[in-house]
Amino acid sequence: MQKQPIVVFGTGEIAELADFYFTNDSNYEVAAFTVDSAFLKQHEFRGRPVVVFEEVAEKFAPDSFGCFVAVSYAKINAIRTEKVAAAKAKGYRLVSYLSSRATVFPGFDLKENCFILEDNTIQPFATVGANVTLWSGNHIGHHSTIEDDVFLASHIVVSGGVRIGQGSFVGVNVTIRDHVAVGKKCVLGAGALVLEDQPDFSVVAPRGSERSSVPSNRLRNL
């Protein structure tokens, strides 16, 4: 089967990973990378050309190439959201990556510019919006809703009937109790246990590990 050519926005670590995943586990083939002219530092990345975004449609026509925006959660996902809108304004069709090692069920609707990596389990009747990143190893419970432009890090438990609002960021090892509603543009820090609804723009930041005043070489039972 002939692969569909795409252009990837970005030349950072996420773009490098996107290239790897698309190349080895999809029906897409990365033909080039693109960045804004102000951030152009190289003309080749991973053996493919890098072109400025201002001119990308002239060199890689939107009617022949798809596009994937490989940008992180910077500014609570605002930059990625802006670049998706800019690519669509140029006429590009935004593609998505769904790992063959992720678990989904009949009826799952994969929307545009999603990046769903290995070992995600998305249970029946759960919905995932557009421009959502699900890093490795998450559980998305039944009847839950992940709204657009959300970024979930790894090993997160989203219980059944949860709603995570547009543009939110959820850190590693977060647990969200069933039927909790998280508002838009929230930040749930690593290891947070979320047991009640969170309004828009909430920050839940559990206290980090405290270092003992006793050094390790003085521990008696280790």
Q: What domains sit in the chain, N to C, each tagged with a CATH number?
A: 4-89 (3.40.50.20), 96-199 (2.160.10.10)
Mean predicted confidence (pLDDT) in 183-188: 97
Model confidence over 65-121: pLDDT tens digits? 999 999 999 999 999 999 999 999 999 999 999 999 999 999 999 999 999 999 999
**What length is written for the chain?**
222
Whole-number Å distance between alpha carbons of 172 and 166: 18
Q: What is the pLDDT of residue 222?
A: 61
Model confidence over 16-45: pLDDT tens digits? 999 999 999 999 999 999 999 999 999 999
pTM to 2 decimal places = 0.94
What would the two tokens of residue 119 be?
A: 């070992």
Q: What is the pLDDT of residue 209?
A: 74
CA 63, 65, 70: angle at the middle one, nearest 5?
A: 135
Whole-number Å distance between alpha carbons of 52 and 133: 24
Q: Would you report the helix, strand and coil content of the chain in percent, each value rounded to 5?
A: 15, 25, 55
**Residue 194 pairs with which residues in a beta bridge?**
176
CB 19 within 8 A of CB 47: no
| Three-state DSSP state, 206 | coil
